[in-house]
Structure 1
């Protein structure tokens, strides 16, 4: 089945962020706001890809509800009642695309494989890591599975999702995770799995780490430390390695109480592992710096800290970039 180009103009298409707002207004397990729901249906039936993703999920959720709630019937009744309002800008009656007769993830996969970011973001989350059932260690992904994951993540990035760290993990590490196992008990060292990557790939990964480090990511800061320590994608520099470890330490110290109050077990375990690894790196780097180089490192630390854009990484990374939708 082919994915058609939208009948709407570029300015009439819904950005991802706006499509979420309309869906939340329109639907809460049943039709919540009839005007918003009508608008969502009209967009979806005119092949607005972001609206189509939300509409497909709504149809799926309705089918999954107990039969005695009659949610699917509620939608069908609404569509019948509002048939004359389901028109395009010229007053032509709209019809539901045949695509919506397919199962949910067939719809999402078709849109994702056509390169649409919102659908790609959903599909990337369905690609599961290979986990050893006994040790919970992340096992290497097949080349086919990794390529698909990287493609979906790259497409999602084009829609404004800030997934650069996920993309780096998928490219740099065999299990597509920066941690050794599903318990987050140990980090995968950056220097261990880079032999097959080109210098251009390593530089691109460094730039992605740098962007997130400047917005307060402790994980990215530690990867920046490793990059400078081992010369991964950047010239080797012990002083700058120290700088990024020190900034990661500051980030952990400033936010650990708030994060522990809000985080689940896995997030707290990951933060603890990050901090332990960071302390290990700090001690190793300090031994390599004489007094003069330590002074230089402290000066660089002050300069680099002034360039941090925000320490509230969670807020920044969860905010979608405004990107024009694709037709």
Structure 2
């Protein structure tokens, strides 16, 4: 297996944005009902991007490889086109901008490679993957009363690092980021029912003034966009 992470051969201004890749996949393939091809032309476009190392397209191609097996196992339904049929009919259209036939990267041959790749993409600061990895380090444990338990500063700092990578890349993850900076549980709420909110005065013992100021700056941005949490935190900041 070649573990090299390659740069995309697609010009930067033609790479898919995060939401564009998501919508393209939604239009191209049905992974909820029929597990079949919706729009062959859109699927051609998606695969072209994925096979040329467009990082935002690659997760959806992996997803497609997973779900098309469900379709093939269950048999043909409602005269929908399976991925296998699609490849037989449209394989010759999978070419680069010069008309040269594309080759599926070897990483797609191993379904477990996506775990490795997503981890490395996050470390390279690709925003979608950094955001996902930030959640991986986020606290998720609760006690029998469904209250969030405190987590270590190390966990929170790792989560903050990757959320910052995501923020730099365009993800507006201010709410998640501020919660991890401010509170030992890493959440704005104390419970999973979202009924008991953590007060600003219940901040992490290790919180430094610079982080507190940054969190309030982010809260102001959130408040300007009508976030209830943002409005609350700014109000508390003035109050306390």
- Identify whether the pair has TM-score above 0.5, normalized to the shorter chain: yes
SS in structure 1 at match of 2:164: helix
The 8 Å contact of residues 53 and 119 in structure 1, kept in 2 or not, is answered as no
* Residue from 92, 102, 122 that aligns with 1:94: 102
CA distance 1:69–1:228, shift in 2 (3 Å) = farther
1:153–1:82 CA distance, 2 compared to 1 (3 A):
same
1:206–1:69 CA distance, 2 compared to 1 (3 A): farther
User: Does 43-52 or 145-154 show the bigger shift?
Assistant: 145-154
- Asked whether the 8 Å contact 2:151–2:185 carries over to 1, the reply is yes
Q: Is 1:225 paired with 2:231? A: no
TM-score (norm: length of structure 2): 0.84
User: What TM-score, normalized to structure 1?
Assistant: 0.63
Find the counterpart in structure 1 of residue 60 from structure 2: 54
Which residue pairs with 1:120 in the alignment? 130
Change (3 A) 1:20 1:174: same
Q: 1:17 aligns with which of 19, 34, 37?
A: 19
Please give the alpha-carbon distance, in whole angstroms, between the structure 1 residues aligned to 2:161 and 2:214: 16
Separation (CA, whole Å) in 2 of partners of 1:96 and 1:70: 25
For residues 54-113 of structure 1, what are the alpha-carbon distances to aligned partners after superposition, in whole Å with 9 as ceiling and x for unaligned? 212222333455721479x93244234333221111222211122222324444333223
Q: What is the aligned residue count?
A: 229
The secondary structure found in structure 2 opposite 1:192 is: coil
Equivalent residue, structure 2, for 1:265: none
Q: CA deviation at 1:223?
A: 0.7
- Counterpart for residue 29 of structure 2: 27
1:136 to 139, 146, 154: 146
For structure 2, the 5+ residue unaligned runs are: none
How far did 1:5 drift?
A: 1.0
User: In 1, Cα distance between the equivalents of 2:18 and 2:83?
Assistant: 23
Q: Which residue is 2:93 aligned to? A: 85
Q: Distance in 1 between the 2:154 and 2:129 partners?
A: 19
- Cα pair 1:112 1:123 within 8 Å, conserved: yes
CA distance in 2, matches of 1:143, 1:64: 42
Taking a change above 3 Å as real, the CA distance of residues 203 and 91 of structure 1, as seen in their structure-2 partners, is same
Indicate the RMSD between aligned Cα atoms, in angstroms. 2.4
| CA positional deviation for 1:137 | 1.5
Mapping 1:294-309, distance limit 5 Å: none
CA distance in 2, matches of 1:27, 1:198: 48
Pair 1:157–1:67, CA change in 2 (3 A): same
